[in-house]
Structure 1
Amino acid sequence: MFSFDYKEKIRFTKAVYYNFRPIPLPRPFKDGTGGMGKFAPEQGCIELYDDEGACAHLSVGRGFVKDILPLILNGEKKSYNEWRETLYWKTRNSGFQSGQAVQVGMLDLMMLDILAQRAGQPLHRFMGATKDWASAYKGGGSILLEDNELIEDMTRYVEEGYTTVKFKVGSDDMERDLRRVEKVRKAVGNTINIAVDANQKWDVETAFKFSELVKPYHLAWFEEPIHAHDMNGIRRLKDMGISVPIAFGESMRIFYAYETYIEKGVDHLQPSVGRMTRMDDLVRIRDIARENNVRFSSGGRIYLNAIFGCLYNENEPVEYHEPISKPVGEYTLYQPEERNGRFYCQTDISGNPQRMNIEKLEKEGLLESKQIFYVEDK
C-alpha cells in the first residue's frame, strides 16, 4: 500500500502565527445544512521554520498553535514519519475525526513542504508527480441564489472551459431543487456533466425520492445525500436501487472510512486536502478507487488541491469551489494558473509556493495580531 516514507530528520526552531480578522465573502453562501456563511473559514496562517533554514507556510486555525506547537517546538529532532506517528497517536483520545487529528495532517503537509524545499523541488514533483497540472471541475451554486443567478454561474463555468459543474440542493423546497436541476440542464446542454451536493440534508427515503425525480437530467453524481457516517443508510440506498451515482468523502479524515464506503457501495470517493490526518491517505484513497473501479476526486482550497491533483489522472479532478475559494485567493501569493478546466502549478519555486499575502491582509485591516514562538530546548 502506498505511503510516504521520508527518512530525513527535522528539528523545528521557530513559528510565526498571523491571526486574521474574519475575511468577508462578497456575498453570503449557504448549503443545505451548514447555515449562513458570511466569512471565509480561514482564521490565520503560520510560518514554521526548521534548523536548516526552510520555512513552511500554511493556513491553520488557532488550535494548531495551542495543540501542536508545544509538541514540536521542544528541541527534538525526528524523521518525518517519527513526527507523524508520535502526534497521530497523541490524538487517539480526541478521536481520529477530531480537529486535533486534522492538525496532525496540517503538520504533515508542512513537513512535506520543508522536505521539498530541501530537495530544491516543487512540492508536487517531490511527491512523485510526472505532470504539472490538475484537471478540475467547478462548484458553487449557493441555495441563496435566485434561479437566474444560478444559471448565469453554471453557464459561465462552462464558458470558462469546465466540463463538469456542481451546485447545491437540499433547500426546504424539493420542487425548487428539481426545477433548478432542470433549468441548469437546459442551459448547459447534454454534453456537460452536472453534479449536485445535498450536504447530508436528507434521510434515506427522501434522498431516494429525489434521485428518482432527477433521473431525466442524468446527473454525474449526487453528493452526500444523507449523513456521511450513516454507512447502513448508504447500503440501503444501494439496495433500494438508487440509479444516480452517490459520492461521499469530504467529511471523513482517515483512509479506513473510505474502505468502508466502498464496501457499502459508494460510487465516488471525495477526500478533502485540508481535512486529512495523513497526506498520503489522499493517494491511498485514489488507489483503492482505481482498484475498485469507483470514481475519485478531491476537494479543499484549490491552491493546495491543485498540487495534489498533479498526482491524479485526467479523469480524477480536483474541485474548485469558487464562492469561497476565490475570495481567499485574493489574499494569496503564487496561485496555480486556471486555464480551460485545468490548474497549472509553479515549477520554479521549491516546496509549496502558496501562502497568504500578509502585506495585503495588513493593509486592508484583516491582520489582527502576530505571535512568534521559539524552540524550548530540553
Structure 2
Amino acid sequence: MKAIFLPSTIRKPFAFIDHCIEKTLDKVGVHPLVHLPGKGFAKRIRQSIQQFQPAFLLANLGCRLTSQELEVIQSLSIPTVIWYTDDPYAIDQSLTTCRFFDYIFTNEEAAISVYQGAGCDNVYHLPLATSLPTFTPRKIALRYQSDVLILGSAFLNRLEEVDFLARRLPSSTLKIVGPGWRKLSNYRRLQDRIRGGWVDPKEAARYYSGAKIVLNIHRAANDPHLGQNRQGVAALTPNNRLFEIASCRAYQLMSYRPGITSLFAGGEIDTYNGRDELPERIRTLLKQEKWRQESAERACALTWQQHRYVHRIQRILKELPFESVKWKSAR
C-alpha cells in the first residue's frame, strides 16, 4: 500500500516528527510518497495518484499549505488525513485548514470539541509519542550528567519556575538546556549551568539519560509566543517529552496535566501541581534513588508497549475506511 505524505516542512522542532511519521509509515507497510508544498503542487499530487494509486493522504500540521493547495487536497478522491501536532498553541491556524480534510487527529484532547464545532465529523485524539532507537537508555559521558535537568525552550512560565528554583536550590543542582534562557533573572548565577541553543533528539536523549531527575515543565496553554490560541483552548494532554524521557528510562517529575491519568493509568509518572512544592520534592527525590529507578523502569516499559509512533500510525490506519488489510505489528 502507498500513501501521500505531506510533512510540516518546519525545521524546529517538527522536522523530527515529520521524519518519525515517514519512517513509521514504511515500517507498518505503507510506502510514503513525500510531497512538499510549493510550485507545481497540484500537478505533482495528481500525477502521484494516477501513477501510484495511493490509498490515502496524510499531512502533518499543514500550516504551510496555501489555500489553493488545500482546495486541491479537498478535491481528491482518496481519504485525506491531517495530524495536528501543535495544539492548542497553533489551533487558530489549524482551524483555517481543518475543513479541507476528511479525518482530523489532534495531539490535544481539549481540541476535539473545537474541531467538531468547526464542522469536522471525524475527529480523534492522538497524542505525540516516542521514537526508537533515538530515545533509549544509554551510558553517557560526565558532561551530560546532572541532578535536575530542564530541557526545552524558555517559555515564560518555564522562566518563572526556573527563577523560583534558582533562589531555593544550589545552582550546582540544575542543568538547563535549550534556547532563550538568557532571559532568566538569575542568568548570571546560572550561566555556567546553561547550554543554550537547540539540541537534536539524540543529544536530548543523552541529557535525559544522564539526569537523576528530568523536570518536565509544560508550556502554558495561553503562552504568548505564537499567539495562536485566541479561544483559550485548554492544554490537557502531556507533551511529547513525557514519552521521550520515559523511553530513555529516565526519571521525570512532570507538571500535572489531566491527560496523564489515561496515558499512564498505573501512576508510572510522578507529577507536581505548583512550583511551591518543587524545592522540597526535589530534595527528597534526590535521596530516593531506588524509587526513581523503579518508577523510570515502569514508565519505560509502558511507553515502549503503548506510546511509540508505530502505535500512533496504526491508530490512524484503524480509523480509515479500509477492509481486510493486515498491517505489520509494532515491534
Same fold? TM cut 0.5: no
* TM-score normalised by L of structure 2: 0.31
* TM-score normalised by L of structure 1: 0.28
More strand by share: 1
Q: Which has the bigger relative contact order, CA under 8 A and spacing at least 6?
A: 1
